[in-house]
Amino acid sequence: MSADQTRLADFLPYLLSVTSNAVSDRIADEYRARFGLKIPEWRVMAVLGDAGAQTQRDLVGATRMDKVAVNRACKVLEERGLIARSPNARDGRSHHLELTAPGRGVYGEIMPIALEMERKLFAPLSPAEQQTFKALLARIHQQAAGPGE
Tens digit of pLDDT for each residue in 10-29?
A: 899 999 999 988 988 888 88
Q: Spell out the domain ranges in the chain.
A: 39-145
DSSP, res 125: S
pTM above 0.75, yes or no: yes
Count CB atoms within 10 A of the CB of residue 65: 18
CA distance 114 to 42: 11
Tens digit of pLDDT for each residue in 94-107?
A: 889 999 999 999 99
Q: How far is CA 33 from CA 56, 96, 110, in A?
A: 26, 29, 12
Q: Give 86's pLDDT tier (boundaries 50, 70, 90).
A: very high
Q: What is the pLDDT of residue 145?
A: 82
Domain 39-145, CATH among 2.60.40.3140, 1.10.10.10, 3.90.1150.10, 1.10.8.420: 1.10.10.10
Judge whether 16 and 31 are in contact, CB under 8 Å: no
